[in-house]
Amino acid sequence: MKVLNAQQIHSWDDFTIQHEPISSLDLMERAAQVCTDYITQLEMFNRHIKVFCGKGNNGGDGLAIARQLYNQHYTVSVYIIEFGAVGTNDFQANLHRLHEMEVSIHFIQSEACFPDLNESDVVIDALYGSGLNRPLQNLGEALVKHINQSNAFIISIDVPSGMFIDKSSKGNTVIRANLTLTFQSYKLCFLVAENEAYTGVLKILDIGLLPLFLESVEAKFQIANRELIQLIYRPRKPFSHKGNYGHALIIAGNTGKMGAALMTTHACLRTGAGLTTLNVPSAYLNAVHASLPEAMCQVREEGLKYEGYNVVAIGPGIGKAVEAGSLVEDVLKNFNGKMVADADALNIIAATNTLLQSTCNRSVLTPHPKEFERLFGKAENDFERIEMALQQSEKLQCVIVLKGKYTLTAYKGKGWFNITGNAGLAKGGSGDVLTGIITALLAQHYTLFEAAVFGVYLHGLAADIALEKQSEESLLASDVIENLGSAFNSFY
């Protein structure tokens, strides 16, 4: 599913109006009805619903929702902010319809017109929609602050007022919604951490926009959904053998951090690598053999050996000492196959200017935001960081997996957001497991992009399945590993 920018979103509306065909007013009515149907499921019948509208099409949505709720016998009041404009045609048409009913309509011309709001009220925010291109100011900004200061339950229609769709809203005044009802698909603004406090619970509502439009439009971002993963996934063949599925070398672990090595290796085994070898200090060989008998070992003190391996993963738990730096430099200099760099390896690469270029054309880099900053520089906001990831993926011809709630896979200047996973993954070891998963997929001859986007999806899906027996608080990285089988089985 493509993630569209503000202009493309409006073009999708126009395409549907032209090709369904349907009038813009009827499409607005349909969108409003979908919102109304959702709101009526929230058991708010005994609460006063106060609908705040601008004079654009977002305000027109709000007027239609107010009328539909009134027709279902809800207590509804409407507040329209005055800022000189006459209003769009569809806004005016819905206002005319509303005037034919006994709905209380108020026009806000100054701060003195702001209504009292309390915790028993439900506020529907239909002030400013996805077309907003500058920060709120004057009366609009004051009204949003007034709403935010209340204890009312706030529902934003399409996007919280004051939030930009395609760029950062940091420092701007934005509605703090408890619930956002958006239309048809994800918007970029909902996929970044900086907007979490304003979005609340996000619900994407299908308003019947024609999917044919998506075939004709180029998008910088996409959602890595199940349909994409099904196209990537290649089930094992009945007459295959271990040699068909590659041999992964994992360079991980050190004193106090052997858990990272074990989890990375276990995840690699569970994700299907034909053979998996772990490079560890000799002191930990017995621990590896006891806990992971399926894994083989290289003794770190005897040096790195690359013959027979088609992928190397390096970083989890190796530390930042001089010896760890030598390991990273050795891999980048002497191994010519595909590689995954994570954790300590990323910090070592970041600290040595000459190493990053050596990752070109063959690497998956898996930084969290702080590691990303060390590698590529500080970003002022999430949107800038995402753009940097896209630019660096194109410059280095590598894949960058920028970890977060909606982990971004950046490749050749485009980005794929992942929608599996949950907050239980915000725990030590989760990144090690992801490294093992991606490494195993590379060993099985998936491309860099395929291994990254599939691996991230699989990692999150296994975490979601694990919640059948765990909570987000109790979820462990090892629970993710144990549910990889169920995640694979779901594709059959």
- DSSP of 211-265, one letter per residue? GGGGGG---SEEEE-HHHHHHH--PPPTT--GGGG-EEEEE---TT-HHHHHHHH
Residue 70 parent element (H or E): helix 57-71
Strands 76-81 and 48-53: parallel
CA distance from start to end of the chain: 21
Give me the residue label for tokens 């925010």: 125
Query: Which amino acid appears at position 378 of this protein?
Result: K
pLDDT for position 353: 81
DSSP 8-class letter at 52: E
CATH number given to 226-489 = 3.40.1190.20
pLDDT for position 119: 95
Q: How confident is the model at residue 86 (pLDDT cuts 50, 70, 90)?
A: confident
Sequence-ordered strand ranges (E) for 335-420: 338-341, 363-365, 399-402, 408-411, 414-418
The mean-pLDDT minimum among 70-74, 131-135, 311-315, 347-351 falls in: 131-135
The yes-or-no verdict on residue 282 having pLDDT over 80 is yes
* Mean per-residue pLDDT of the chain: 97
Q: Cα separation of 49 and 230, whole Å? A: 43
The yes-or-no verdict on residue 274 having pLDDT over 90 is yes
Give me the residue label for tokens 């709120």: 136
Domain ranges of the chain: 2-218, 226-489
The yes-or-no verdict on residue 131 having pLDDT over 90 is no
Who's near 36: CB < 8 A, 6+ residues apart? Answer: 65, 68, 69, 72
The yes-or-no verdict on residue 258 having pLDDT over 80 is yes
Q: How confident is the model at residue 41 (pLDDT cuts 50, 70, 90)?
A: very high
Query: Which amino acid appears at position 191 of this protein?
Result: L
User: What integer is the mean pLDDT of 59-83?
Assistant: 97
**Percent of residues, the chain, with pLDDT higher than 90:** 98
- The Cα-based distances of 233 to 74, 437, 454, 468 in angstroms read 49, 13, 8, 24
The CATH number of 2-218 is which of 3.40.50.10260, 3.30.1600.10, 3.40.140.10, 3.20.20.140?
3.40.50.10260
Q: What is the pLDDT of residues 405-443, one digit of tens each?
A: 999 999 999 999 999 999 999 999 999 999 999 999 999
Q: Cα separation of 72 and 134, whole Å? A: 36
Q: What is the pLDDT of residues 330-370, one digit of tens each?
A: 999 999 999 999 999 999 999 998 999 999 999 999 999 99
Whether 2-218 shares its CATH topology with 226-489 is answered no
